[in-house]
Structures are given as structure tokens and as C-alpha cells.
A and B are shown apart, each in its own frame.
Chain A
Amino acid sequence: MGLLHVGAERTDVTALIASLRSRLPACVCRKSVALLTDDEVSALAAAAYLSHERVTGAVLGRNQLHGVAARLRELGMTTVDLDRGAVLAPARRAPGVSAGTVFLLTSGSTGAPKLVAHSWDSLFTANRVRLEQPVSWWLTYRPGTYAWYQMVTMWLFLSGNDLSVCGAGATPGALDQARAAGVDALSCTPSFFRLLLVHCGMDRCRTLGLKRVTFGGEPVDDAVLQDARTLFPQAVLTHIYASSEAGAAIVVRDGRAGFPASYLDRPASSGIRLRVEDGVLLVRSPYASIEGEEWVHTGDLVEVVDGRVQFLGRSGAAFISVGGAKVPTRLVEACLLRHPDVLWCKVVAQRAPLLGSVVAAQVVQRPGAARERQDLERELVRHCRNELPEVMCPRLFTVLDTVPVTAAFKTQLETGPARDRT
């Protein structure tokens, strides 16, 4: 088991579990329980408690209860507000799932949040990751999500892997706390990494001297991998494809976006199988939800180019129709990210007269690149025209000051054509 660093303090898991037990009402002892808290340390204590007691449970933020409360009751869980020490909803029936089931809450970035059943065995995937030496991880993921549990299980089940809780978000204060705590490994979404660059600048980020950088939670592009390599040339660079339903499926260590097409043909003995059906990635993994289908339809569109499988986006939102021509948003984004002044971008459909839609782009400039909006717009039009067919070139640009993210530090997914973005 690892230690937990909270500021200058260090706590071991046993002490954390003891502190949580003292806050649990006696009536829920060893019963199936949904533990609500907005405190990161309490959330870790809650997960450690569930793992130690092997009781069925879930760890949720207090504002995440809405929409899943009835389902939690159906599952036979008593809901406890840890921050207030109160039982909110007692269980009315025995749980219909095996003891030790852990329910994750999906981030809701692709629809309404839902509960996904796992076991501690299905959540513990770190035996697939080569960790030559123990490291101290900056915990950046939102409590209760799949990526968060990946970090939690490493901390609980792998000796010497410490976690650091560093305060809210990708801020200079959090970075300073991470450095003070001796963090030498970062696992985060690409959007979190870019926010860190925007808010802290390249030089301050470099002071972390990371030994490992792992990206997950959203599609990874070459530009963010290159930034990580430039800042931390000694670091082991990995990106992971995983989801609450499919579990951990792909670990890529060659530092390039996408994954080798040879992964699609791996034998069943490898444990994880991947295939592409109608352009959509399907996954069969021993780390998948314990209640799902054998083959999980990921909803992620992919294409194989030159022996590499590249992600095109979510099915239904990966293309923009411009006068009948289908424009793959991911290719436009990849083009924009190749421009040295662009740190982040999001390509969306903009409803337009005559052609139905045109391509629009939101962009964030790199720290230090301080072009005027009009100048940047002209430069990006020129850049795109040199690399893309005319129909794929963005016609409207919105320059943002920072990377817009969801609470889970992911880029907000579009649910429909953008209107009136300026």
C-alpha cells in the first residue's frame, strides 16, 4: 500500500480507514453503502474502506447524487453524506449484486451519468503497466470515476505507489503543492495537462521533473505527447484507452497518438481483444464492467491509416456536413494542433446559410504566443489552407483564454451544431 500526501502531511491507508469508520453511523456498518463526499481525502478513505471491508458500495460527489439516487436505493445501498455525518436514504432491500461490487459513476460527458458495476479485481489493472520503481502520483481525477479508481487501486494494492492530493485543478498553487509533496508521476487528461501549461507556463511545469506521464480519459493527440516529451525528456510516456464500461483496454508506450493496428489482431490469450465493426471500436476485456456485454461497443469511431488506428471521435459527432461533404473534425483539430501557436482546439459545426454548416474552431494560444485575435485568425486560415482541402478549413474562429473543461477535466463534447459562437 502507498501513502497519501495531503500538503505536508502523510497518512497511511490503515489510519485513513480508521478515521472513516469513526464517521460512519453505526447502522451502516458492513452494509452496502453509497458514500457521498466533496472532500478528496474523504473520497479516498471511502474507497479504501469499501476495499478493506469488501462491502458493496459507491463513492460519489454530493452533487452527483441527483439522477442516480433512485438507482442506488434499488441496488440496496444506504446513502450516507460523509461530510455531514448523516444517513440520507436507508436501504429498503438487500442488494441484488455480489458482495464487494463497486459502482462507478460515468462522467456524463457522453450522456446522463450512470452507475457501472465493477469488482476490485476488474478495477485493478496496474499489473499490466510496467512500473519499474514506485512513484508518487499527483491525483488529478475526479473521485468516483474510472480513471480515479485506476489510481486508487494502484495506491491500495501496489507497494510504494503514493498519491498526492494537491488542491483544486491545474493551478500554480496545486503544482507547487505537488512539487513540495515530491510528486514524480502525473496521470491526467490531455485537457488537464494543457490547462497546467496555460496556468503555470512551460518553465514552472518543468520544475516538476516527472519520471512518468500518463494520459487517459480522452483522445490523445501528437501535440500533447510532444509537449510532455519536451518538458520531461526522461519520463516514461504512456497513454491509456479505457472506459467505465469497457475497462482498461489499450496501453500505448511508443509516444504516438492512436495505437498500432497489430493490437487488433492480438490472440485471445492476451486477455484483451479489440476489433473494428462499421468503423467503431469494440473491446472485450477482463477489466470490463461485471454486468456488461462480452464485447463492449465503445461508440468511438476509428480508422486505420498506415498501420495505425486513429480515433476520429464519438459516433454521431465525429463529422460535420458542409454542403453535403463530410468533414472529420479530428483531422481538422490535428491540423490546427500542428501550428506552433495552438495549445488546444475544438472543431465544431456552425450552422450557416446556404451550406447548412461550416467548420468553426475554438482555440487557445500557447503561453507566450500573443497574437492579436485577427492576426491569429488569418494565420490559422493560411495554415489550414496549406494542409487541408478548402471544405475542411475552419471559417470561424473563437479565441479562448483558457481550455474549457468539464468537472472531470475533459473537453466538453458537442451534442449538436453550435449556434452563435463568437
Chain B
Amino acid sequence: MVLLRELQARQGRSQDFDESTPLEALGLRSLDFSELALRVERVVGRELNFDAARMRGIRTVGDAVEFLRLAAAPSA
């Protein structure tokens, strides 16, 4: 959430959101999501493992945060 808020600030967009806010309402696009994922990689120090099927189900900020949390988890 902190990284997303920082990204929104850099891009001059609304930082008034919570987990239930739809991503569309934030104006978040694939470039933003790629940047966000890159910044998460830098924080956790490893590449993310993406689940493509799960990615298609992302609707809200909460979905995106959960998706990135799972992608950042060490693979079994």
C-alpha cells in the first residue's frame, strides 16, 4: 500500500483509496502495475512469481496487494 501511495503521488494522482477501491478508479494501468511489481521486487530482493490466472482476477487495490504479496512469497 505504501509503494502504491508513493506511485500515485509521483504520477500526480489520487492517494485517497483503501483496499476496496477499484483499480480503475485510481487510473492504474499496466505500466503502473509493472513499476509497482518492480519496486516490490527491489524491496524483497528477488524476482516475483506471477500466477497469470490469478492476475486476471484483480479488481481492487486489495486484490492487487494480495496478488503481489503472494507473488513475493518464497516459492515452495
Beta-carbon contact of B35 and A382 below 8 Å: no
Cβ contacts under 8 Å, A355 to chain B: 30-31, 34
> Which of A292-300, A308-316, A388-396 interfaces with chain B?
A388-396
Pairs A-B, 6 closest by C-beta atoms: A353-B37, A355-B34, A352-B38, A395-B35, A354-B34, A352-B34
| B9 at the A interface (CB under 8 A) | yes
Beta-carbon contact of B38 and A358 below 8 Å: yes
List, sorted by A's number, 22 A–B pairs whose CB atoms are closer than 8 Å.
A322-B31, A323-B30, A323-B31, A350-B38, A352-B37, A353-B37, A353-B41, A353-B47, A353-B50, A354-B30, A354-B34, A354-B50, A358-B34, A358-B35, A378-B10, A381-B10, A382-B12, A391-B31, A395-B31, A395-B34, A396-B38, A422-B42
> Which positions 378-409 of chain A face chain B at CB distance < 8 Å?
378, 381-382, 385, 390-391, 395-396
Beta-carbon contact of B12 and A420 below 8 Å: no
| Complex Cα–Cα for A358 and B31 (A) | 8
* CB closest chain-B residue, reference A351: B38
Please report B residues at the A interface, Cβ cutoff 8 Å.
Answer: 9-12, 29-31, 33-35, 37-38, 41-42, 47-48, 50
Given contacts A353-B50, A354-B30, A358-B31, contact A381 B38 (CB under 8 A): no
| A377 at the B interface (CB under 8 A) | yes
> Which positions 65-120 of chain A face chain B at CB distance < 8 Å?
none
Q: B30, B34, B42 — which one has the most chain A CB atoms within 10 A of its CB?
A: B34
Majority SS at the chain A contact face: mixed
Cβ contacts under 8 Å, A381 to chain B: 10-12
Interface residue count for A (Cβ, 8 Å)?
19
Cβ contacts under 8 Å, B35 to chain A: 352, 358, 395-396
| Complex Cα–Cα for A82 and B13 (A) | 63
* CB closest chain-A residue, reference B71: A353
Beta-carbon contact of A354 and B9 below 8 Å: no
Cβ contacts under 8 Å, B37 to chain A: 352-354
Beta-carbon contact of A378 and B30 below 8 Å: no
Given contacts A420-B42, A422-B42, contact A353 B10 (CB under 8 A): no
Cβ contacts under 8 Å, A395 to chain B: 31, 34-35, 38
| Complex Cα–Cα for A354 and B29 (A) | 12
| Complex Cα–Cα for A380 and B41 (A) | 23
Cβ contacts under 8 Å, B11 to chain A: 381, 385
Q: A322, A353, A377, A382 — which one has the most chain B CB atoms within 10 A of its CB?
A: A353
